[in-house]
Structure 1
């Protein structure tokens, strides 16, 4: 409908009025629909928008015009009307169809902030300069941007109330989200995540799917893994395109295929447990199906075909059948064949670059300095293939700059992948992300890299509460657009507006990971292997103090989101577990039977209750964000933890009643402690469940 501005009267002309109304609507009034859709009412000849307008200003019969020259006076904007308006609105004619789609989608997710009946008009000023500016005037918000991604970020700034001047340094900026390590996100959750990423300025999203897509004619490909259907991916692709985001498939065509190759039907395509058999016809038949699927699923003509970390390439069944062959020759031959498959399906491949460097040194060290790849190897890389340099670990820009130049020696411009630290964590580590991603971003800007994305891996079970990654993504996108990494005030305001959460609280919640919360949680309560190592490093006292501060902060909040409720319960559980372990060893070593009985009868039941509470909250979050497949792995770990605490209680009671003369596990821990202190060696702990899912 059309809504009058601040004036209070309208002079009604004689005659039909349709043309007048259309002109008046376009010049003096806000139009909230496409004017091409105005239709004539056959009974009166009056336009539909004309009649809607007259109804709005108060004419009881919009099909009856007053006489010529009559002045109709009305108080147009009542307080009630203003209260119903959102903060911002847009006029359809001001924007291209793509921009309109972005605005409409954002309005759907932020209905209280943006609509077509708002208080301040959003205006886009297009520029050819690599800048983004947002300014505010009395009745409008102005976004000056030269790219769709910059406009989307500018819209995020407007919704945040931020007056900004930023720099556009990258053509592609975005994420790679892991949908293979247990957790396969629902399409609805991914859509919500993509909307927020778009408002942060991202325009690239890769879906890492080793076997979590439904390959036609391959019923055991991704069996019981929650794979995406063709229809789901096409739906997500259309949605992403409406936000100006390129959705790219990120798959595996060499290694990391353990979940596929464990099935007997793929035996002929298997070299080792997770690596495909080079040169086998069955391998390329399978790869052809993969590439064909993604060519149909997504509109992007790019595909990431993986091929990283194939450490044992050619050392399994290939060695048995064909004898030893140099790894570089095998890799390059396989790459050429997969590239040909991609070309046949109209796709341009991207690969992780590490195998070129690993195969050039016996330690298989991707980041070995002063390592040069021979010209003979570089020349064999097909020109259609783009390399992706991935590095989530270094904290100085100079290292990244040197590595980028080594990749450019291959003759093409690489993509760069930094990391948002979600893997092996219950809560994304903003601190670790800042340490490693910020120098990477700066190096990319300094060297002129145009495509940069941030991986969000789910190693070891995908148990991260992934909304926590949004805070780190806000930081990374802000730095990519030129903001200081220390400007927490900016990130806090934007994060509150776009995600509805407290940025500083999200950063504080990463306290969980200062001492590897997952390893402590699933550490065996009788054996205490992880806590033995933590005790040696003398980090537990400080860790416990920080957990206590986090709990105090969370407990005083009147309302917590589901994921923060999970953090609160987990922090309390970790504190209880650490304190129990310390008290258990102390009481056992001094023979304090009363203390041991108190642990068995009072403390352990309390921990069991907290495990149950954590398990319920974790399950609720998982089912809200992901498909049910994979949850069973985490539930097995939690159930195993419950069983082991029950065993600990039983062993303590048997020791106290004389059934057991000693507790062997506690004796072993006490005996190992001096060796740990002396040598610094701490044994690894592999807890229950599939470790690399």
Structure 2
């Protein structure tokens, strides 16, 4: 499709040129006339009548959303149309987790930025615990794929042409395990993940962090973290200085950090959970029953924006209550929701989409202006942020309407990603085999634990007894295969889910079948498992590994893949050992297979009474009940 641009296009022509191939249009004097007019009012409009189009916009990113709406309508052969949208938030966009091994390559990050632009999202946070370069700290992000300042500047320049603000999001208190693990930096360390407070070396480091991470960005905003700091003051600090209340330590530390922030002309945001957790009698940071004491309100600095995060509540009233509690601090908080791509190969859209609508409806009613959506990558990021695009689209549609028109939402998903909504929902299906309610509200991750669990130990076998998971995953693999090869650029995202389903169609319940054959002394059945099924699982596993490796290297820097590679290698070796153990028993070299003599227990007691198959966040717990590493004291 050819488009003729009319008006002042100097500020948008660079971004449009980058989108031509992706959106299949060309800029040409022979094209459909499109008048572009910048205005003062925030409402954007798109129209087409008598063969001529017009876009009126204020903010840069509004133009790119409007242009995508215009192009979509033209491609649908609509003879005339008029669309008006009013932005509901000042800032809205994703937070990319770049600290859990998967650091996006520059090219794939740019690909994501283009998609954010046509959706109309105007911001993105880069969550970097230690994956950015700072001077005189060679162990900071060492072998972790850290970004250089030049790379961050390149990303910021690229995002700026679309009117997207990139904001660094770092940690200045806890969640620094990957830096503090090095003996060379022990002088900064209180506990495994927390910095040593009341220590001038620490504040020199923090200033180095802040100046280094903000230098490449145009934005004067920085997120300073400070969430989940339960270990605060309980390690080296306690040994040196004795006990001090956590709130006192945190308030003093925050004041020092904010002095550094203000010194460099920056504006700070931080997670709010520690303030509410310290106020809560139950330890639940976001309990509706929590009353915030006056001393916490008085001693919380006014020059920092608090950010309320919540990922799994589906009741709008819950968000409303917690937002109102935040207002006791004298200002409206920012909000961060989540699209559940973490701790699983699946994307939990059943929960994420419901939680999104509940949360953002409450945010609109309570006047929240800054909204983000987290894409965490806990436990090595077996998933990827592109699998969250359906959820990001829902955030975008909420950003431009009081209530979302679901038909329009589905159309926008198709246009902005090239994929149908139903295709993305197949990712959700990876974690909803028999035994799981469709919306997965109780949260279960069988795509992870059924893959990584040991075939001979079967720690989760009890969870799937009586459920036909084998047939489920076989059907799912065929269903995913049926949507493949549509020529869309994101088709590659379904290679891992397809091959994972193929693996699970044999492996998911293989432990149950091995133990059953052993208990019944079914030698013929054990032979078949050892000679046919287990080798076939191993072969399918190798296909999955290759697909996963190809996907990783397409999207991410290489650092961190070794962790996933080791997991695949470990599982293949355990399959080999399982075959050897069965053969030793069948050929009477051993009298028993001790692993199969053990009673199978529930990994999560009580799961049999739920609409979930259980949850485990950590590979090392799934793979073995034995010691992977010895956890030393926190200091």
Question: Could you say what secondary structure the match of 2:260 adopts?
Answer: helix
> Aligned match of 2:565 in 611, 635, 640?
635
Distance in 2 (CA, whole Å) between partners of 1:530 and 1:672 is 7
Asked if the contact 1:175–1:204 (Cα under 8 Å) also holds between the matched residues in 2, the reply is: yes
Q: Is 1:550 aligned with 2:476?
A: yes
169-178 vs 356-365, greater mean Cα deviation = 356-365
Q: CA deviation at 1:675?
A: 8.4
Equivalent residue for 2:576?
Answer: 646
Asked if the contact 1:460–1:690 (Cα under 8 Å) also holds between the matched residues in 2, the reply is: no
> Aligned match of 2:591 in 658, 661, 675?
661
- What pairs with 1:380-399 in structure 2 (closer than 5 Å)? 380-399=299-318
Equivalent residue for 1:155?
Answer: 67
Equivalent residue for 1:618?
Answer: 548
Q: Deviations over 1:470-516 (max 9, x none)?
A: 122112211332286572x4334333332222321121232112251
Distance in 1 (CA, whole Å) between partners of 2:69 and 2:144 is 38
Asked if the contact 1:106–1:114 (Cα under 8 Å) also holds between the matched residues in 2, the reply is: no
* Unmatched segments (≥5 aa) in structure 1: 1-85
> Aligned match of 1:268 in 175, 187, 190?
187
Distance in 1 (CA, whole Å) between partners of 2:235 and 2:604 is 41
Computed over aligned residues only, the root mean square deviation of the Cα atoms, in angstroms, reads 2.6
The alpha-carbon distance between structure 1 residues 128 and 682, as it changes in their structure 2 partners (threshold 3 A), is: closer
Q: Deviations over 1:443-470 (max 9, x none)?
A: 1111111111101100111111332111
TM-score normalised to the size of structure 2?
A: 0.89
Distance in 2 (CA, whole Å) between partners of 1:691 and 1:350 is 36
Distance in 2 (CA, whole Å) between partners of 1:218 and 1:451 is 33
Q: CA deviation at 1:107?
A: 3.0
Q: Is 1:474 aligned with 2:393?
A: yes
The alpha-carbon distance between structure 1 residues 430 and 133, as it changes in their structure 2 partners (threshold 3 A), is: farther
Larger radius of gyration: 1
Equivalent residue for 2:8?
Answer: 94
Question: Could you say what secondary structure the match of 1:455 adopts?
Answer: strand
Equivalent residue for 1:491?
Answer: 409
Question: Could you say what secondary structure the match of 1:409 adopts?
Answer: helix
Equivalent residue for 1:58?
Answer: none
> Aligned match of 1:584 in 498, 505, 514?
514
Q: Is 1:595 aligned with 2:525?
A: yes
- What pairs with 1:64-79 in structure 2 (closer than 5 Å)? none
Distance in 1 (CA, whole Å) between partners of 2:349 and 2:4 is 34
> Aligned match of 1:521 in 417, 432, 451?
451
Question: Could you say what secondary structure the match of 1:403 adopts?
Answer: helix
Equivalent residue for 1:416?
Answer: 335
Question: Could you say what secondary structure the match of 1:221 adopts?
Answer: coil
147-156 vs 184-193, greater mean Cα deviation = 147-156
Q: Deviations over 1:23-55 (max 9, x none)?
A: xxxxxxxxxxxxxxxxxxxxxxxxxxxxxxxxx
Equivalent residue for 2:429?
Answer: 511
Q: Deviations over 1:213-238 (max 9, x none)?
A: 11111111111100000000011111
Q: CA deviation at 1:616?
A: 0.6
Distance in 2 (CA, whole Å) between partners of 1:136 and 1:582 is 62
Equivalent residue for 2:504?
Answer: 574
121-130 vs 317-326, greater mean Cα deviation = 121-130
Equivalent residue for 1:115?
Answer: 27
- What pairs with 1:362-381 in structure 2 (closer than 5 Å)? 363-381=282-300
The alpha-carbon distance between structure 1 residues 118 and 476, as it changes in their structure 2 partners (threshold 3 A), is: farther
Question: Could you say what secondary structure the match of 1:432 adopts?
Answer: helix
Q: Deviations over 1:299-353 (max 9, x none)?
A: 1101001000011111111111111100000000000001111112221111000
Equivalent residue for 1:8?
Answer: none
Q: CA deviation at 1:364?
A: 2.5
Equivalent residue for 1:14?
Answer: none
> Aligned match of 2:258 in 339, 348, 354?
339
Distance in 1 (CA, whole Å) between partners of 2:609 and 2:353 is 32
TM-score normalised to the size of structure 1?
A: 0.82
134-143 vs 524-533, greater mean Cα deviation = 134-143
* Unmatched segments (≥5 aa) in structure 2: 433-443
Question: Could you say what secondary structure the match of 1:351 adopts?
Answer: strand
